[in-house]
Structure 1
Amino acid sequence: MENKSASKLVLDKLDFQIIQEMMNDAEISYNDLGKKLFVSGGTIHVRIKKLEEQKVVTGKKLSVNLAALGYDVIAFIGIFLEKSSLYDDVAKELKKIPQVVRVNYTTGNYSMFAEIVCKDIQQLRYVLHDELQKIKGIERTETLISLEESFSRNVIVQE
């Protein structure tokens, strides 16, 4: 897991304001954001490019109501590895499964924790039984099905 040293980043108050505003509304134009922050649209453009080059900003995503598209099952999978040294190999295999949307290397009971989004229970069963179980290095899994997501939000970033 490559991690560029955060100490090399030199971000100022404006950078943090830009990040926060764009996390709240990624569709805002650079000109409108510039007006809101009392700088030019060109300044916003240059700062965003700098943040992208420093890998602080890694893309802009569309927020989608998955339930409206028929994805009714969200599950969290605690994964026990045979050996913790297998993490990278298992993570690479998990990335090949489209329903796996997030994977974390964790402390505690599980070696890894994954989030899976499926259309229905049959698809979840397929992912658990036919996809996860064939990955070398996974000793066993524990599945928790989400009944409801109360909220989801971005962190508030500050200098």
Structure 2
Amino acid sequence: MDKINWKLLKALEENGRLSYSELAKLVHLSAPAVAERIKKLEEQGVITGYQAKINLEKAGIPITALVECEVYRTKERAFKDLVLSLDEVVDCYNVTGPSAFILRVAVSSMSRLDVLLERLIDLSDTKTMMILSQPVEREMPLNIEETTSSFP
């Protein structure tokens, strides 16, 4: 990964609809050279897809929350199966610490959140935190060069 690839990734993260010619201007290469670099990044699995960012509140789903789940002993497989089946689960992270999983959920009402939590309670203890805002939303750290450089 060189600086040009990092610049391409950052530009695509900000706007996945940029054309090869627009990206080429940003990195001072030809459009075919940029296309080849992006193709390689896709083949290597660095770029895993392109998607629209959705404003859930404007789409009628105004409530998002983080749910810490401390899964009961021997219930992890059933918990994972349940979480996969819940449409309201947007993200699921397996983490260290007493809460083995953290879910990000999106629901249309507090009563829907209550129903969701009731489904989880047979398999885990839960702690719920309402998301008030998201001041930072990105996939990559801002200063890639510093983040990926070796320590002296």
Counterpart position of 1:123: 112
- Alignment pair present for 1:142 and 2:131: no
Distance 2:26 2:2 in 1: 17
Q: CA deviation at 1:126?
A: 1.8
Q: After the TM superposition, which residues 78-157 of structure 1 pair with which residues of structure 2 at under 5 Å, given as runs?
A: 78-83=68-73, 87=76, 90-129=79-118, 131-133=119-121, 138-146=123-131, 148-154=132-138, 155-156=141-142
Counterpart position of 1:7: none
Distance 1:93 1:54 in 2: 32
Q: CA deviation at 1:92?
A: 4.1
Decide whether the 8 Å contact of 1:77 with 1:116 is kept in 2: yes
Q: CA deviation at 1:157?
A: 5.4
| RMSD over equivalenced CA pairs, Å | 2.0
Distance 2:143 2:50 in 1: 17
- Alignment pair present for 1:158 and 2:144: yes
Kindly tell me the number of residue pairs found equivalent between the two proteins.
143
- Aligned partner letter, 2:98: N
1:111-138: CA deviations, max 9, x gaps?
1111100011121112111x3245xxx3
Distance 1:13 1:27 in 2: 21
Of 60, 64, 78, the residue aligned with 1:74 is 64
Counterpart position of 2:150: none
Distance 1:30 1:111 in 2: 42
TM-score, normalised to structure 1, is: 0.80
Decide whether the 8 Å contact of 1:78 with 1:143 is kept in 2: yes
Q: CA deviation at 1:16?
A: 0.8
Unaligned runs of 5+ residues in structure 1 are 1-10
Unaligned runs of 5+ residues in structure 2 are 146-152
Distance 2:58 2:33 in 1: 38
Q: After the TM superposition, which residues 45-84 of structure 1 pair with which residues of structure 2 at under 5 Å, given as runs?
A: 45-83=35-73
Q: CA deviation at 1:107?
A: 1.9
Q: CA deviation at 1:67?
A: 0.8
1:51-106: CA deviations, max 9, x gaps?
111111111121121111111111111101123x7656533431221110111111
User: What secondary structure is seen at the aligned counterpart in 2 of 1:66?
Assistant: coil
- Report the CA distance shift for 1:14/1:118 in structure 2 as closer, same or farther (over 3 A): same
TM-score, normalised to structure 2, is: 0.83
User: What secondary structure is seen at the aligned counterpart in 2 of 1:108?
Assistant: coil
